[in-house]
Amino acid sequence: MARAPSTAHSEAPQHLKAVALKLFAERGIDGVTVRQIAEAAGQKNHAAITYHFGSKDALIRELVVDGAQAIDARRNAALDRAKADGDLHSVVDVMEILVETSVDPDPPAWGECYNRFVVGLQLSNRALFMDALAGRWNSGYQRCLDEVRRLMPDLPADLLNQRLVFMGGAIGGILAGRETELADRSRDHPMWSHPDTLRRVARALASIIED
């Protein structure tokens, strides 16, 4: 049954964003044109990006915020549950929350893309990334860092903060690498698809902070 025109029209921006996220993750923001996004999304009108978002940069900002909001919501909810259950006993516990909430629980058919997208964006245009966030959508991340500080009161603050910076860089790179490998459907990736891998990532991140 064909969709009503109004329904199809309302779904077009979301489909364009999903396709753009995939292309940006694969090729970087400078390797993708608005025309290519429109064509990949099946849009005959190559001005679809301009029509729905205003510009390529505006589309990129929406993608950054969409993902950041979703991660922050998952992270805060996971922290609330863990604190209510009294489950935050170690740095590993906190890292498991950071890692698990960075992974899309309902990815599109072609796989997860957001970590690859934001890591690439920060390397090519960090100013655009930071401007899109404008200091928002990181309350869950900051709460996780506060929990680590609570759990490690004897480590000098400057040393702990340095290790937290190292951890923050590592988590993005590791998860972006995981997405890249899993996006390759030409072969199996037993290490990255293993059910324990994310927990092992969390332990590796904890070791950056604790050792």
Query: Using one digit for the tens of pLDDT, what is the confidence trace for 18-64?
Result: 999 999 999 999 999 999 999 999 988 888 999 999 999 999 999 99
Give the CA diameter of the chain: 64
* pTM, to two decimals: 0.91
Residues 6+ apart with CB under 8 A from 180: 116
Residues 6+ apart with CB under 8 A from 172: 115, 118, 119, 122
Please tell me the predicted confidence (pLDDT) of residue 10: 60
Please tell me the predicted confidence (pLDDT) of residue 65: 97
Counting beta carbons within 10 angstroms of the beta carbon of residue 95, is it exposed (0 to 12), middle (13 to 18) or buried (19 or more)? buried
Determine contact, residues 74/99, Cβ cutoff 8 Å. no
pLDDT band for position 103 (cuts 50, 70, 90): very high
State the chain's mean pLDDT as an integer. Answer: 93
Alpha carbons 201 and 196: distance in angstroms, whole number: 9
User: At the top level of CATH, which class does the domain 57-210 belong to?
Assistant: mainly alpha
Residue 5: pLDDT above 70? no
- Taking each helix axis as running N to C, give the angle between helix 139-151 and helix 157-183, from 0 to 180 degrees, rounded to the nearest 10: 130
